[in-house]
Amino acid sequence: MKRLSRRSVLHMAGAGALGAFAAPALVGCTGGPARHWSKGDPFSLGVAAGDPASDGFILWTRLAPEPQSLDPATPGGMTGGPVTVEYEIATDPALRDIVRRGTAVAEPDYAYSVHAEVNGLAPGRPYWYRFTSGGAASRTGRAMTAPAAGAALDRLRFAFVSCANYEHGYFAAYRHLTDEQPDLVLFLGDYIYEYVDMRPAVVRRHSEGIDCVTLSSYRNRYAQYRLDPDLQRLHAEIPCLMTWDDHEVQNDYAADLSPSFMPRELFLARRAAAYRAFYEHMPVRPGRSRPNGPDMRVYDRFAFGDLVEISILDGREYRSAEACYGPPPRHGGFHLETNQSCPERLDPSRTMLGMEQEAWLFDGLSRSHARWNVIGQDVLMAQFRQKRPGDTLPAFSTDDWNGYPASRDRLLRHITANRVRNVVVAGGDIHSFFVNDLKENFDDERSPVIATEFVGTSIASWGPPYDRLAAALPDNPHVHFFDSRQRGYVMVDATPARMSVRLQSVGDAANPNAPLATLRSYVVEDGRPGALPA
């Protein structure tokens, strides 16, 4: 088994080209007419593939001939009942060698999105696909199957990304990532931003000048992001794994608690709308992720032969309230707390993942036979001591794992006790690169390194003040690298002997043509936790 993908230029099928297909059936599976649009390209939002298994994957599209239609009664410009969509899957990018044809339903209840579950394919290889419906054809996308469970794999290349505030910049980082043609990309949260930034420095504007609260406003936000050509091409060419952070719903929320103190019932209705719109736009498994009111499961585990197992976590839906949450003099969202100002932060019953997800994670890690155990999740895990203005005591963020140290301790102790092999944590949220040692006792230099953490900077979102965070580095000797001044992503090349990691920078996202540079390179050697400069 060699590496999964081969470099290839995808052939983009023009809208309306039907290739090998005869005119699709005009009657949908429920008996309604198959075509529910009179003008425009129903595949304007592109295609995506996700959740690779050893025999298949999820293919996504959403019919939206008028993708930014603001009328909630006609999402994407569509009306009427379910629409049948055909797909074809081939072993080559020109779609000559078609190995599967199938149909799926674009559901009105889910904004005419399609989540086609494909199985029965050969393991460990790329496939190419497209959708057709009502005389129109989508662009061609690339999907992949994972190698068979336990099969020998000698290489997996994946990138991870987070924090793509459309108003703060262009998606040049997504473009460079796609050009690198990794096997897979992990989206670790803040895929959209729900708010509108009133500051004059914004680079481009969210199309609705309002914060997303309703289903149609979240839908329109996703549609606007997906119309960006760099993001749309990334999804067409690179299969993905998805999780979320806070901005898919509201900045700094925790489970059913809004940082702006919306009444719980109202906030849960907002969360339900936000999760539903997320589902409608992502290539995720209906059986696992179809939302049920305000509840939706995104966490899951993905194996790539004997080489890599990736646990994708949900750090928002099940977490305990942020420490010292409450109306003034307590706090809503992110804030810094000392052990004196908020002893509640240290409560051992607090959890970042919820006890059910935590047990699921621990069970998966202790059963894993993979060489590398990657944990893809939303926020900074390592301890990070800061200072509040005018205070000399160490202070900690309430919004990342520093707000949930008991949960972090349980995880790191579990890794040690079960001798989980080569744990590498990937995260985002903080709009900065970090390279960290994860330790049971961050305050003891002799405490052994248990796992390695890489935090990717934002795709576009503005970073925190460099000087303020850099001033904290002497108090955090387990942080080997930090930079909040660059936008970009992280590229990982895993082999049995080592994991090579590049911090990829586009500098300033205000430049749509920003060139790519490698800011730093690291390796993690098999059996030796901790990043080494490459």
- C-beta of 429 vs 453, nearer to Ca ion: 429
Beta carbon of residue 416, minimum distance to Ca ion (angstroms, whole number): 29
Other Cβ atoms less than 10 A from the Cβ of 249: the count is 26
Q: Which stretch binds Fe ion (CB under 5 A): 150-158, 189-197, 262-270, 303-311?
A: 189-197
Residue 243: contacted member of Fe ion, Ca ion, none (CB under 5 to 8 Å, by partner type):
none
Beta carbon of residue 189, minimum distance to Fe ion (angstroms, whole number): 7
Among 41, 88, 190, 378, binds Fe ion (CB under 5 A): 190
Q: Which stretch binds Ca ion (CB under 5 A): 35-43, 400-408, 425-433, 453-461?
A: 425-433
Q: Could you tell me the CA-to-CA distances from 513 to 90, 174, 204, 252 in Å, in that order?
A: 33, 12, 15, 31
- C-beta of 37 vs 222, nearer to Fe ion: 222
The distance from CA 50 to its chain's CA centroid, rounded to whole angstroms, is 11
Q: Tell me the C-alpha distance between 381 and 387, whole Å.
A: 18
Residue 300: contacted member of Ca ion, Fe ion, none (CB under 5 to 8 Å, by partner type):
none
Pattern 446-485, Fe ion, x by CB under 5 A: ---------------x------------------------
Q: Tell me the C-alpha distance between 460 and 167, whole Å.
A: 8
Residue 503: contacted member of Ca ion, Fe ion, none (CB under 5 to 8 Å, by partner type):
none
Q: What is the DSSP code string of 249-300?
A: TSTT-BTTB-TT---HHHHHHHHHHHHHHHHHHS---HHHH--BTTB----E
Residue 277: contacted member of Ca ion, Fe ion, none (CB under 5 to 8 Å, by partner type):
none
Other Cβ atoms less than 10 A from the Cβ of 146: the count is 27
Instruction: Give the tokens for residue 301.
Output: 């585990």
Q: Tell me the C-alpha distance between 161 and 454, whole Å.
A: 11
Among 429, 437, 453, 483, binds Ca ion (CB under 5 A): 429
The distance from CA 128 to its chain's CA centroid, rounded to whole angstroms, is 22
Residue 245 contacts Ca ion per CB under 5 A:
yes
Pattern 148-167, Fe ion, x by CB under 5 A: ---------------x----
- C-beta of 278 vs 302, nearer to Fe ion: 278
- C-beta of 306 vs 429, nearer to Ca ion: 429
Contact 337, 395 (CB under 8 A): yes
Q: Tell me the C-alpha distance between 254 and 399, whole Å.
A: 9
- C-beta of 163 vs 296, nearer to Fe ion: 163
Instruction: Give the tokens for residue 39.
Output: 């003008």
Count the residues of the shown chain that bind Ca ion, applying the rule CB under 5 A.
Answer: 4
Q: Tell me the C-alpha distance between 455 and 50, whole Å.
A: 22
Residue 246: contacted member of Ca ion, Fe ion, none (CB under 5 to 8 Å, by partner type):
Ca ion
- C-beta of 190 vs 337, nearer to Ca ion: 190
Q: Mapping DSSP to helix (H, G, I), strand (E, B) and coil, where does residue 359 land?
A: helix
Beta carbon of residue 400, minimum distance to Ca ion (angstroms, whole number): 9
Contact 460, 169 (CB under 8 A): yes
- C-beta of 36 vs 487, nearer to Fe ion: 487
Q: Tell me the C-alpha distance between 287 and 333, whole Å.
A: 33
Q: Which stretch binds Ca ion (CB under 5 A): 190-198, 204-212, 275-283, 288-296?
A: 190-198
Instruction: Give the tokens for residue 87.
Output: 């797909």
Q: Tell me the C-alpha distance between 398 and 350, whole Å.
A: 12
Beta carbon of residue 490, minimum distance to Fe ion (angstroms, whole number): 15
Residues that bind Fe ion (CB under 5 A): 163, 190, 461
Residues that bind Ca ion (CB under 5 A): 190, 245-246, 429
